[in-house]
Amino acid sequence: MTNATTQQIAVIGAGLMGAGIAQVSAQAGHPVVLRDVTDAALQRGLDGIRASYAKFVSKGKLTAEEAEAALGRITTTTDLGAVAEADIVVEAVFEQLEVKESVFRELDKLAKDGAVLASNTSAIPITRIAAVTERPEFVVGVHFFSPVPMMKLVELVRGYKTSDHALAVARQFAEGVGKEVVVVNRDVAGFVTTRLITALVVEAAKLYESGVASAEDIDTACRLGFGHAMGPLQTADLTGVDILLHAAHNIYSETKDEKFAAPEIMARMVTAGDLGRKSGRGFYPYEK
């Protein structure tokens, strides 16, 4: 394995997650190329990274020089051909199988031999993404959490054909950017984390829908009873009710397990536009 910090990283998608992954990678010393489809998306991503570094500097967790140096290690491009130099490619585009499949088909053509192709998907089986490539043994799930610079966890996911080598490279990368990893040995839909939170949110929404308890009391029960930092309905509002409904549909369609059958209220909320914090109302109202 090459020296960790000299590994070139390519991040595909400069949204919330991609920008965060580029940020922590550059901070750990990696040269990073960040790719999105438009210059506007790249600019937004870079602005977010700059603002986040500035926050770390103002809190004394990073010096201004370190932040400048890290920023200097990030280049942006709309050209996917830029992945040719990368040792590790981390894909963080929209959570849609067709979009990810088309990105991985291209990566398979453009990435160098031996490059590890990682996906930040929250719930799509890695085996399905890997299947569109001629090198499934190099495809691995590297699931970061939001906000990336703050959240310590990375869930590493082994697809059906992921090699020990690819998993080891992914582990070294994730630990090198300061994260703690858990390994998911079989890429069941939702892996471990999305499966757990989806089951909890679905059950909480069912209890709320059937009037068993108020949203506040359901969340308080989890916070004070189990020591959770946030209740499940608050988490749903933060993550997006639409995102969790989509995750529940995906996991249910793979498993046919009733505990992932989302209650009607979640579908009604999404249809009505009550998506959580981002829309100003979910299980709770928010100031826009």
CB of 239 to ligand NAD, least distance (A): 6
Closest of 82, 71, 72 to residue 33, by C-alpha: 82
Contact status: 140 vs ligand NAD (CB under 6 A): no
Told to check if 146 binds ligand NAD by CB under 6 A, we report yes
Q: Which is nearer to ligand NAD, 23 or 122 (CB)?
A: 122
CB of 146 to ligand NAD, least distance (A): 3
Smallest gap, in angstroms, from Cβ of residue 212 to ligand NAD? 28
35 binds ligand NAD (CB under 6 A): yes
Q: What is the footprint of ligand NAD within residues 164-223 (CB under 6 A)?
A: none
Residue in 9, 17, 24, 89 binding ligand NAD, rule: CB under 6 A: 17
Among 16, 188, 213, 221, interactor with ligand NAD by CB under 6 A? 16
Given 92, 167, 202, 251, the residue binding ligand NAD (CB under 6 A): 92
Residue 15 found at the interface with ligand NAD (CB under 6 A) = yes
Tokens 């067709």, residue located:
98
Q: Which CA distances in Å does 169 have to 138, 151, 251?
A: 10, 20, 28
Asked if 103 interacts with ligand NAD (CB under 6 A), we say yes
- Contact between 122 and ligand NAD by CB under 6 A: the answer reads yes
Number of residues that bind ligand NAD (CB under 6 A): 24
Supply the minimum distance, in Å, between the C-beta of residue 35 and ligand NAD. Answer: 5
- 5, 6, 37, 261: residue in contact with ligand NAD (rule CB under 6 A): 37
Nearest approach, Cβ of residue 200 and ligand NAD (Å): 16
Quick check: 14 binds ligand NAD (CB under 6 A)?
yes
Cα(89)–Cα(87) distance, rounded to whole angstroms? 7
Q: Note whether 120 binds ligand NAD by CB under 6 A.
A: yes
Terminal Cα-to-Cα distance of the chain (whole angstroms): 48
Q: How many CB atoms neighbour CB 259 within 10 A?
A: 15
Number of residue whose CB is nearest ligand NAD: 15
The three-class DSSP label of residue 9 is: strand
Q: How far apart are CA 61 and CA 55, in angstroms?
A: 9
What does R_g of the chain's alpha carbons equal in angstroms? 19
Q: What angle (nearest 5°) sits at the alpha carbon of residue 167, between those of residues 183 and 256? A: 50
CB 141 within 8 A of CB 128: no
Q: Which amino acid is at 25?
A: S
- Kindly give the interhelix angle for 193-209 and 215-226, rounded to the nearest 10 degrees: 140
Nearest of 111, 194, 112 to residue 145 by alpha carbon: 194
**Positions that interact with ligand NAD (CB under 6 A):** 12-18, 35-37, 41, 92-95, 99, 103, 120-122, 143-146
